[in-house]
């Protein structure tokens, strides 16, 4: 699915000003941040492009059921993500945590935040400045696979590193 | 409809003595789990003038649907009636209603003057021929006729069961449309029976878990409109909202009002840890109530405001705990197999409703406040998020069906586990919150 490039909000006040009533507001930012990750700009052949980050490095790591512990595979991906972020300081990132549907809504929000935070802490441990990394959890609200089997659940239990322009972050 | 007036029609000695004889034969004990519903008849109300002729029939249909919808009553349809009520004042021919085995009879009269609607009604115990309670009169506006019907039904329910009613109430919920991987959610409010749906937000951002204030005038909910989950409070009448908690680098969710309507408890997640906070709405000042490194969420106050039930995975899995409203030591109340979440304290104070996950299934259940007498009311692929009817006898919840085509629907069930039924909504629905009875 094509999505526009991500823009991180600089301040909450701006977001509120744009959302002063229920029927008339500019929700561009919310839509940009609501999914499994933006369609990355640039060519995957260009190592400095978000497309390269998303496709060649891998923008997501997966988790075991009800766990937020990083697997060995996740650590390899996050290490490469950290190296890329250190080399490309024009970009910041929002790490989106997600859960599969086997859980209550509130718990899954908290679990997704744990997962996103685990990824963030790892990136920081590899040298990325914490000020460049935000986290958000979507709980079970944004599955990318929709079957009710472990094959889908395994892909939905994820933390996705979504790049944003550092200029507005 | 604040202008509804409630008047006692006739207070004669005979009526008063019947009203006090509430232990008579026409009585339903809800806690017993009624197996044989009580047969009743609601003949069309008598129109006092021609302007009232249409609404006179509609009122009866809503009253009958309310009563039959509880599972405690069974309507004897008009096609089976022998007798006819042509005058509200004339003596009732009980033999006509006994013959069709109607045990309860509701008679009424309606008049319409301009946009003013007046409804009078009486409830009869057919077999004793006595009136249950006194005749009542409601006055309101014609466009509020459904509320008048719900008020009549509440009075009938209340006189026969001895419990408070719940029909004149509303439900705020999340209306859902679209496939699972592109689900559109918006806040909606409706009458408890699915009528009069009104949307409170559009579907541009994810909205979750609206919760009524104790007086039903405001709704707390979580929205992603800033890109991050934040708690908002919405004035239902004005459809105006404002953010309550927007601390940068945090997420806030799972809000719920305290019984005083001034304090909000909610979860705040930061740095991989979710804890429970309380905020004074007026000042915006927050107090942290839990400090464990585990997930603490889904707080719900006791009706007296002194305690909070919540879920925590501090033991390794989601379980239910109760702590003082100001925080402090919590005691675990759930000990069965499986995981327990989304606890909600009954408005009567006696029970906690919850979601239970066990062996790959989800259940809505209730337990006593000390954790005893756990009772599972439902079982499905995914049931969650109970909310209590104002009288603490019925629970509404979310049921999501399995698979790629799965969708969310609202269901209700009574606390004995009987009368499981879908609640009609225009699209899918989730996260219901039941209002108190309206004034």
CA dist., res. A99 & res. B265, Å (int): 24
pLDDT(B194) > 80: yes
ipTM > 0.85, yes or no:
yes
What is the pLDDT confidence band of residue B1, given thresholds at 50, 70 and 90?
very low
pLDDT for B384-411, tens place per residue?
999 999 999 999 999 999 999 999 999 9
Contacts of B298 (CB under 8 A, 6+ apart): A104, A106, A107, B254, B267, B310, B311, B341, B342, B343
Report pLDDT for B413.
97
Lowest mean pLDDT among A135-149, B12-26, B129-143, B406-420: B12-26
Residue B2, pLDDT > 70, answer: no
% of chain B with per-residue pLDDT over 70: 92
Any idea which of A6-15, A83-92, B427-436 has the lowest mean pLDDT? A6-15
Say how far apart CA B117 and CA B99 lie, in whole Å: 33
pLDDT band at A7 (very low <50, low <70, confident <90, very high): very low
What per-residue confidence (pLDDT) applies to A8?
Answer: 36
pLDDT at residue B156 is higher than 50: yes
Give the C-alpha separation, B395 to B186, whole Å: 22
Whole-number percent of chain A with pLDDT over 70: 74
The string of DSSP codes covering B263-327 is EEEEEEEETTEEEEEEEETTT--EEE----SS-EEEEEE-TTSSEEEEEE-TTSS-EEEEEETT-
pLDDT score at B11:
33
* Residues B4-18, mean pLDDT to the nearest whole number: 37
Considering only CB atoms, A110 lies closest to which of B224, B295, B382, namely B295
Mean pLDDT of A2-27: 35
Tell me chain B's radius of gyration from C-alpha atoms: 23
> Quick check: B220 and B213 in contact, CB under 8 A?
yes
What pLDDT band is residue B85 in, cutting at 50, 70 and 90? Answer: very high
pTM over 0.90: no
pLDDT at A136 over 80: yes
What would the mean pLDDT of A107-120 be, rounded to a whole number?
Answer: 98
Q: What are the tens digits of pLDDT across the range B350-367?
A: 999 999 999 999 999 999
Q: Which among A29, A33, A114 is the nearest to B272, CB-wise?
A: A114
Mutation target among A7, A8, A66, A113 for the B interface, most CBs of B within 10 A: A113
State percent of chain B over pLDDT 90: 90
pLDDT of residue A98: 98
Does position B14 have pLDDT exceeding 80, yes or no? Answer: no
Q: Which of B433, B424, B436 is nearest to B197 (CA)?
A: B424
pLDDT surpasses 80 at B174: yes
Q: How many CB atoms lie within 10 A of CB B271?
A: 14
The whole-number pLDDT of residue B100 equals: 97
Q: Does the distance separating the beta carbons of A113 and B269 come in below 8 Å?
A: yes
**pLDDT tops 70 at residue A90:** yes
Q: Which residue, among B61, B42, B54, B58, has the nearest Cα to B112 in the 3D structure?
A: B54
Phi, psi angles (nearest 5°) of residue B169:
-145, 165
pLDDT at B236 over 80: yes
Given a cut of 80, whether residue B33 has pLDDT beyond it is no
Using pLDDT thresholds of 50, 70 and 90, give the confidence band for residue B29. low
B246, B248, B384: residue with CB nearest A105:
B384
Q: Taking CB atoms and an 8 Å limit, are A113 and B272 in contact across chains?
A: yes
SS3 category, A135: strand
From A161's Cα to the closest Cα of chain B, the distance in A is: 15
Nearest-neighbour CA in chain B from A79: distance (Å): 20
Which pLDDT score is estimated for A26? Answer: 34
- Chain B residues in contact with A103 by the CB 8 A cut-off are 341, 357
Q: Kindly tell me if the per-residue pLDDT of B279 is higher than 90.
A: yes
B136-158 average pLDDT score: 96
Does residue B12 have a pLDDT over 80?
A: no
Q: Which residues 6+ apart lie within 8 Å of B262 measured at CB? A: B280, B281, B282
Interval B99-109 mean pLDDT: 97
Residue B170 to residue B434: CA distance in whole angstroms:
6
pLDDT, chain A, mean: 81
A-B CB pairs within 8 A amount to 152
The answer for A 72-111 residues in CB contact with B (under 8 A) is 94, 101-107, 109-111
pLDDT bracket for residue A156 (50, 70, 90):
very high
- Which SS3 state, helix, strand or coil, does residue B192 take? coil
């Amino acid at each position: 699915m094509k999505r526009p490039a991500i823009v991180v909000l600089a301040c909450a006040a701006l977001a509120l000003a744009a959302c002063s009533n229920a029927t008339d507001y500019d929700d561009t930012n919310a839509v940009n941040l609501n999914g499994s990750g933006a369609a990355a700009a640039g060519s995957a052949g260009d190592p400095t492009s978000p497309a390269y980050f998303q496709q060649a490095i891998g923008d997501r790591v997966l988790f075991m059921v009800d766990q937020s512990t990083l697997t060995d595979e996740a650590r390899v991906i996050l290490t490469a993500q950290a190296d890329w972020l250190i080399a490309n300081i024009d970009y910041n990132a929002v790490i989106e945590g997600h859960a599969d549907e086997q859980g209550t809504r509130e718990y899954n929000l908290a679990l997704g935040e744990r997962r996103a935070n685990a990824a963030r802490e790892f990136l920081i441990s590899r040298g990325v400045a914490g000020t460049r990394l935000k986290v958000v959890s979507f709980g079970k609200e944004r599955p990318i696979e929709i079957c009710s089997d472990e094959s889908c659940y395994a892909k939905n239990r994820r933390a996705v590193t979504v790049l944003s322009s550092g200029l507005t972050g | 409809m604040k202008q509804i007036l409630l008047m006692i029609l006739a207070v004669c000695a005979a009526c008063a003595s019947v009203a006090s004889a509430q232990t008579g034969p026409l009585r339903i004990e809800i806690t017993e789990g009624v197996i044989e519903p009580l047969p009743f008849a609601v003949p069309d109300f008598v129109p006092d003038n021609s302007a009232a002729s249409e609404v006179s029939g509609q009122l009866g249909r809503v009253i009958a649907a309310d009563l039959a919808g509880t599972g405690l009553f069974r309507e004897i349809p008009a096609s089976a009636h022998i007798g006819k009520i042509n005058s509200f004042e004339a003596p009732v021919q009980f033999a006509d209603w006994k013959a069709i085995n109607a045990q309860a009879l509701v008679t009424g009269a309606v008049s319409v003057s301009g946009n003013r609607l007046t409804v009078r009604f009486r409830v009869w115990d057919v077999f004793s021929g006595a009136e249950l309670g006194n005749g009542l009169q409601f006055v309101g506006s014609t466009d509020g006729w459904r509320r008048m019907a719900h008020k009549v039904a509440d009075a009938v329910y209340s006189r026969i069961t001895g419990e408070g009613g719940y029909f004149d109430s509303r439900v705020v919920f999340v209306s859902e449309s679209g496939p699972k991987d592109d689900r559109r959610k918006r806040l909606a409010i409706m009458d408890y029976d699915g009528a009069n749906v009104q949307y409170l937000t559009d579907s541009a951002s994810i909205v979750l878990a609206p919760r009524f204030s104790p007086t039903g005038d405001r709704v707390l909910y979580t929205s992603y409109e800033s890109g991050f989950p934040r708690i908002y409070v919405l004035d239902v009448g004005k459809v105006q909202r404002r953010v309550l908690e927007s601390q940068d680098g945090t997420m806030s969710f799972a809000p719920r009002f305290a019984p005083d309507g001034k304090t909000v408890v909610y979860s705040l997640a930061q740095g991989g840890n979710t804890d429970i906070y309380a905020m004074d709405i007026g000042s915006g000042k927050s107090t942290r109530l839990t400090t464990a490194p585990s997930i603490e969420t889904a707080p719900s106050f006791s009706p007296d405001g002194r305690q909070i039930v919540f879920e925590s995975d501090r033991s390794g899995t989601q379980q239910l705990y109760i702590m003082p409203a100001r925080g402090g030591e919590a005691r675990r109340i759930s000990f069965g197999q499986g995981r327990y979440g989304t606890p909600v304290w009954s408005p009567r104070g006696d029970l906690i409703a919850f979601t239970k996950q066990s062996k790959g299934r989800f259940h809505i259940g209730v337990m006593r406040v000390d954790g005893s007498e756990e009772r599972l009311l439902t079982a499905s692929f995914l049931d969650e998020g109970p909310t209590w009817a104002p009288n603490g006898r019925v629970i509404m919840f979310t049921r999501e069906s399995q698979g790629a085509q799965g969708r969310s629907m609202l269901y209700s069930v009574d606390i004995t586990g009987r009368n499981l039924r879908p609640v009609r909504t225009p699209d899918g629905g989730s996260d219901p919150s039941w209002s108190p009875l309206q004034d």
